[in-house]
Amino acid sequence: MWADIIARIFLIGLIMWLIDRYVKKSIQGFGDFIEKEADKFSVAVMIISILLGIGYILNPYLSREVTPYRIYQVAVNFILTGMLQLLIFHFYCHVGNEKEYEREKQMIQMNYRLLERQMEILEESVESSKRIHHDARHHNAVIAEYIRRGQSEELLAYLKEYEKETDCGMPKMICANAAVNNILSAYTKKARNQGIEVILDVGIDKNLTIPSIDLVAILANAYENAIYACMEVKKSQDKRNCFIHVLLKRRSDKLVFSCRNTCKMETKLKDGQPETAFTGGIGVSSMIRSAEKYGGKYDFKNEKGIFVFRLIMDAKAVEEC
């Protein structure tokens, strides 16, 4: 009896060591993936196969004699059941890899779009610099002429008017954070060029604990989706006024983000997320992944033609030295 118990403990310990040594790394995070991705049919197949195997072994009508044939039957049953589970496991690993590749593809596409927006900003800066350089010569000539004629009052009036025009031409700062300011400026200009009303309510610190790349991933994808939804409404001959309302605030140690925009009435959600057909295939999963890294809580909803994305996550300000 004691020998049997010791043998069982030894075998269980050996199995646990083998799993920890050779299997653990390959299945880390697999449980969470199965919970999200496993369909009902596959789960049913797994449960039925296990129950059939157990039922076959414990069948009271089968001979209990330990014969070579009985051992063969039990071994074959275990092997077939194990092979089925292994195949299902590898199938979901393959699906998981495909999902990961899809996320990476979305990140590449997002980075490409962000690069386009940054190139647009750079081109505008270059054009503005050329225009200022070109106009400076004319302004210098005008100022010199005023001075030559001794028209100081007219010169002051001219300089005041020039200063006013220069201030109007300067891009407005949306917030102190450079990365957020640049991305919001780029997408706001894009939206307004499409005739979409944009309302911004932004107030965040210059430096946050959230890396700029993750914060920009969330903002850019949400804004891009909002612009896409508004353009789809315009294409459908809908008479509604399209708008985008972006709110981004830091309250205590939390970052609060909300994006409300006009959308089609029939916009649907699947598993609490917007379907790809209504977002243009742009990375909702990238937003969620970035948000979850910082304990983010989020939700999507369609309020009778107004799409709402809300997010709250941990974000402390970084004190400057």
What would the pLDDT profile of 216-256 be if each residue is shown by its tens digit?
888 888 898 899 899 989 888 777 889 999 999 988 788 89
| Protein fold of 178-314 | Heat Shock Protein 90 (3.30.565)
Region 189-199: what's the mean pLDDT? Answer: 90
Question: What contacts 286, CB < 8 A, 6 or more positions away?
Answer: 103, 106, 107, 110, 217, 221
254, β-bridge pairs: 251, 314
Map tokens 């944009």 to a residue.
Answer: 198
> Percent of the chain at pLDDT above 90?
11
- Distance from the Cα of residue 174 to its chain's centroid: 22
Nearest-CA neighbor of 88 among 45, 36, 52, 29? 45
Q: What is the pLDDT of residue 288?
A: 81
For residue range 55-98, what is the model confidence (pLDDT) as tens digits?
Answer: 666 666 665 566 777 677 777 777 777 777 777 777 767 776 77
Domain boundaries, given as residue ranges, for the chain:
2-106, 116-169, 178-314
Instruction: Pick the more confident residue, 15 or 193.
Output: 193
| Cα angle, residue 115 at apex, residues 109 and 116 outer, rounded to 5° | 90
For residue 230, the model assigns a pLDDT of 92
- Mean pLDDT in residue range 27-56: 62
Percent of the chain with pLDDT over 70: 69
Q: Helix (H, G, I), strand (E, B), or coil: what is residue 163?
A: helix
H-type alpha helices, the chain: 2-18, 24-27, 30-37, 40-57, 68-149, 152-169, 178-193, 212-235, 284-292
Highest mean pLDDT among 78-87, 115-124, 191-200: 191-200
3-class state of residue 274 by DSSP: strand
pLDDT confidence bin for 9, thresholds 50/70/90: confident
Other C-beta atoms closer than 10 Å to the C-beta of 191 total 23
| Cβ-proximal residues to 109 (8 Å cutoff; 6+ apart), any chain | 282, 283
Name the average pLDDT for the chain. Answer: 76
Note whether 217 and 171 are within 8 A (CB): no
